[in-house]
Amino acid sequence: MKIRKIAITLIIICILIICIFEIGTLILKKLYPMEYSEYVSKYSKEYNVDEKWIYALIKAESNFDTNSVSQSGAVGLMQLMETTAEEVASDIGIETVNLKEPECNIQIGTKYFTDLIKYYEGNYHLAIVAYNAGIGTVAKWISNGIIKEDGSDIENIPYKETNNYIRKVLKNYRTYQELY
């Protein structure tokens, strides 16, 4: 009789743990959604980048708000500057740029990010830093010895916003990997 009560108690505890884990996962999936998946999937495949990187960037940049505009004037889901967006759009044959339109923003943002990855020869850390601070700033930091060419010392990034930004994007990426 005592063994039976212990067994039932253990079963109930196991069920509760599973339920808590499932609820936690459901909450995390609400906090880390995969919105606009048709566009993220399409352009991640087209430009050969893991779609979880794109979700991580969108989460960090706009938290999936298509109408988001930063203080510096970056617009939309992937927070693109008009001049950067027009340059990238021209390269891929887009004539009309509407950065508040999800497909347009995701296509241009994904292409720009993959261009940065290629520019930095597959170094995602430097590509992410440049996405936020710009290629020129990253070049200056490297030439002044502030950060290494391999991007392994992100803790040395002198701009607090960029320092926090890369950490946020990397955390978002790990979370998307774990959830999906």
Active-site amino acid positions = 61
Place of tokens 């002198």: 158
Alpha-carbon gap, residue 125 to 159, rounded angstroms: 15
CA-atom Rg of the chain in angstroms: 21
Residues 6+ apart with CB under 8 A from 25: 179
Up-side HSE of residue 148: CA atoms within 13 Å toward CB?
8
Q: Are 56 and 172 in contact (CB under 8 A)?
A: yes
